Amino acid sequence: MFGTAVSGLQQARHWRKEIKMPLVRIEKSKGLFQESGKGFLSKPLDTQAVVNNFEIDTSLGFNLPVSAADAGQTGVVLKDGTKNGQLALITNVGAEDFDFADDHFAAQPADATLVAGNSILCVWNSSAWSLTSQSLS
Amino acid sequence: MPLVEISNSKGLVQKTGEGLVAVPLVQELSNVLLTIDTSCFYTQVDPTGNRTVDLEAGQEAGQLLLITNVADAAEKITFKVADFTAGAVGISQGESVLCVWNGSKWSPTSQTLA
């Protein structure tokens, strides 16, 4: 039994030695953890297909790829957050732009098109999503 | 009250204090060094003059990268179009951009919706 404990300790030391430069990761299955590497990575969740008036499910996690099958999709919204300070990163990984619904964000931009390839970072303020990805005016 | 800190040397650690801190990797950009190392979550770049620069590729989809231009004068960096999903992006003195790697290019979040 003592031998097993020593062996476990040696294994733990071995793992600790292996993780030299940590990469911080967030994944749906494991939450927040570290492994060998560098930087900060949030594994994208499954891509959600955007259509007219689609509600992007923000309850799935932090890094949320979306894609519109056709051009001209409008009225897209984000599902309400569940906790004040919740963050949501939305990336349009498709080839088509789409529009968010009017008056959806805490401070609505004049135009609310998420261009193909672009991303937005939002924070839930307990009653609405606030866009961080805006130029200051 | 824990302070959460992210750095390349220690990863994610908690210590006495409050808040969330990303320890930066400071990089100077000259006419001979025009590629930004993207291995650290938070990078501060200090260009000498206006520079058009490359970003190293990300390592895996979902990698996050925050860049701040810490120039001490009105010096701008412009990222090459090939590195980004949506056109040319530049940041002037004092500005920042948060990007996410989509597997083949960097997607900037700190842009006005179109």
pLDDT tens, position by position, A56-113: 999 999 999 999 989 999 999 999 999 988 999 999 999 999 999 999 998 888 889 9
Q: Residue B11: inside a domain, yes or no?
A: no
Residues on chain A touching B60 (C-beta within 8 angstroms): 41, 43
Contact assignment for B112 to A134 by CB distance below 8 Å: yes
Which residue in this structure is represented by tokens 């689609």? A54
Q: Check pLDDT > 60 for residue A1.
A: no
Measure the CA angle with vertex B38, ends A35 and A16; round to 5°.
20
DSSP state of B24: P
Judge whether B17 lies within some domain. Answer: no
Cβ-contact A78, A56 below 8 angstroms: yes
pLDDT (0 to 100) of residue A132? 84
Kindly report the nearest CA distance between residue B30 and chain A, in angstroms: 24
The residue among B32 and A130 whose pLDDT is bigger is: A130
CATH number, domain containing residue B37? 2.60.120
Q: CA quadruple B72, B73, B75, B76: dihedral positive or negative?
A: positive
The helix (H) or strand (E) run that includes residue A11 is helix A2-18
- Contact between A63 and A43 (Cβ < 8 Å): yes
The order of strands in the sheet holding B11-16 is: B11-16, B2-7, B19-22
In a domain, B54, yes or no: yes
Identify each DSSP E strand in A1-137 by its residue range: 22-27, 31-36, 40-42, 48-50, 55-56, 63-68, 73-78, 87-92, 98-100, 113-114, 119-124, 129-131
**Residue of A100, A118, A135, A136 for testing the chain B interface, max B β-carbons within 10 Å:** A118
Q: Is residue B1 part of a domain?
A: no
Domain count, chain B: 1
Q: Which residue of B has its CA nearest to A118?
A: B107
Task: State which residues form the domain around B93.
Answer: 23-108
B2 within domain boundaries: no
Output the average pLDDT for chain B: 87
Best CATH choice for the domain A44-131 from the list 2.60.120, 1.10.287, 2.120.10, 3.40.50: 2.60.120
ipTM summary value: 0.82
Q: Report the pLDDT averaged over residues B78-106.
A: 85
User: Is residue B13 included in any domain, yes or no?
Assistant: no
Cβ separation of B114 and A115 shorter than 8 Å? yes
pLDDT band at B2 (very low <50, low <70, confident <90, very high): confident
Q: What angle do CA B8, B11, B15 make, to 5 degrees?
A: 120
pTM recorded for the entire structure: 0.82
Which sign does the torsion angle of CA A74, A105, B109, B65 carry?
negative
Distance CA A87, CA A12 (A): 34
